[in-house]
């Protein structure tokens, strides 16, 4: 009898444990589902207010005072601001700078200005500081590169809508097709994405890189465009994330996002990049603007 009693007790105990584990798993699944629905609903409801931030600094190793250089009679920062105002998804646009000369120039042509500290290590941190100083609250912050005087407003709208449609992502950006002659230029950042349109990796080197060590003319390599948008709650914690090995090796801030396990949505666009990195680029931009009859 004692043996049968022990067996029955053991069986009951095992059954109870199984039910406990099952209940925990079921409860966890339900909690995840409820949490996901709540997050999705929250994202749809609250990712509506959007601010565009144009980070601008005077100091630059390659081109000091770049935001103030004149392009066909207007400061470059003004041309970027004017193009950005054509985007339909932005509720507000500000220039974030640590330089009074840039601030004075921007106020002169009507731009809102947020003064930021010189300690910002990159445009993302400058955007975060500017966000904290704005009177109104915003759900999405768009980092608009100040050295893209021909930025297409449709691309700004595209990255905003991509982030609004992907509640599991905290970041969105844009890519276009890479020209073969730019394949090994480290200033042209390359990107690879997965089948769902999320970023896998960014590199200054050519990716993917085949065993022939040559550019495959049949492969659609992707070039990363500088514009990017962030979920404002994520942007607040971004500066607290420690620098990561890949970020430091490639000197690409978006890699810190990926290395910490966050998702980044990527849109593909047809776009000719016309950034100003050096004084020589100014003449190229002006020639292009004349060809397009842009004043």
Q: What is the pLDDT of residue 44?
A: 46
Measured between alpha carbons, how far is 293 from 295 in angstroms, rounded to an integer? 6
Tell me if 73 sits within 8 A of 98, measured CB to CB. no
**CB burial string 213-230: b at 16+ within 10 A, e below:** eebeeeeebbbbbbbbbb
Q: What are the boundaries of each domain within the chain? A: 44-287
Measured between alpha carbons, how far is 123 from 18 in angstroms, rounded to an integer? 53
Nearest to 240 by CA among 125, 131, 132, 98: 125
Q: What is the domain class of 44-287 according to CATH?
A: alpha beta
Measured between alpha carbons, how far is 14 from 23 in angstroms, rounded to an integer? 14
H/E element, 82: helix 76-84
Q: What is the pLDDT of residue 58?
A: 83
Nearest to 175 by CA among 114, 211, 222: 222
Q: What's the pTM value of the predicted model, to 2 decimals?
A: 0.81
Phi, psi of 274 (to 5 degrees): -135, 55
Measured between alpha carbons, how far is 253 from 80 in angstroms, rounded to an integer? 22
H/E element, 131: helix 123-133
Q: What share of the chain is helix, strand, coil (3-state, %, to 5)?
A: 40, 20, 40
Give residues with Cβ within 8 angstroms of 204, minimum separation 6: 186, 187, 188, 189, 190, 250, 251, 252
Measured between alpha carbons, how far is 222 from 206 in angstroms, rounded to an integer? 9
Q: What is the pLDDT of residue 158?
A: 97
CA distances from 150 to 52, 76, 96 (A): 16, 10, 19
Q: What is the pLDDT of residue 279?
A: 84
* Run means of pLDDT, 10 residues per run, the chain, 295 residues: 38 40 38 40 66 88 82 94 97 95 96 90 88 94 92 96 96 96 94 98 97 96 94 93 95 95 96 78 89 83
């Amino acid at each position: 009898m004692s043996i049968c009693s022990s067996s029955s007790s053991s069986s009951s105990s095992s059954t109870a444990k199984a039910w406990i584990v099952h209940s925990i798993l079921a409860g966890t699944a339900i909690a995840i589902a409820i949490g996901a629905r709540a997050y999705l609903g929250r994202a749809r409801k609250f990712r509506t207010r959007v601010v565009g931030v144009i980070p601008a600094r005077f100091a630059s190793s390659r081109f000091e005072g770049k935001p103030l250089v004149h392009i066909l009679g207007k400061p470059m920062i003004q041309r970027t601001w004017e193009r950005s105002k054509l985007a339909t998804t932005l509720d507000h646009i500000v220039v974030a700078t640590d330089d009074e000369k840039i601030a004075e120039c921007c106020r002169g042509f009507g731009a809102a200005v947020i003064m930021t500290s010189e300690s910002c290590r990159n445009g993302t941190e400058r955007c975060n500081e500017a966000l904290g100083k704005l009177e109104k609250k915003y759900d999405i912050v768009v980092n608009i590169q100040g050295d893209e005087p021909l930025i297409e407003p449709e691309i700004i709208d595209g990255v905003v809508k991509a982030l609004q449609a992907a509640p599991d992502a905290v970041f969105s950006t844009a890519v276009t097709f890479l020209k073969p002659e730019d394949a090994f230029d480290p200033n042209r950042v390359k990107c690879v994405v997965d089948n769902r349109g999320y970023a896998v990796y960014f590199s200054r080197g050519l990716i993917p890189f085949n065993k022939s060590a040559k550019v495959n003319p049949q492969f659609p390599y992707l070039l990363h465009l500088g514009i990017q948008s962030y979920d404002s709650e994520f942007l607040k914690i971004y500066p607290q994330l420690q620098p990561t090995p890949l970020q430091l090796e490639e000197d690409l801030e978006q890699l810190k996002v990926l290395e910490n396990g966050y998702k980044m949505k990527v849109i593909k666009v047809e776009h000719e990049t016309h950034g100003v990195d050096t004084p020589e680029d100014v003449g190229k931009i002006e020639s292009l603007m004349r060809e397009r009859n842009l004043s």
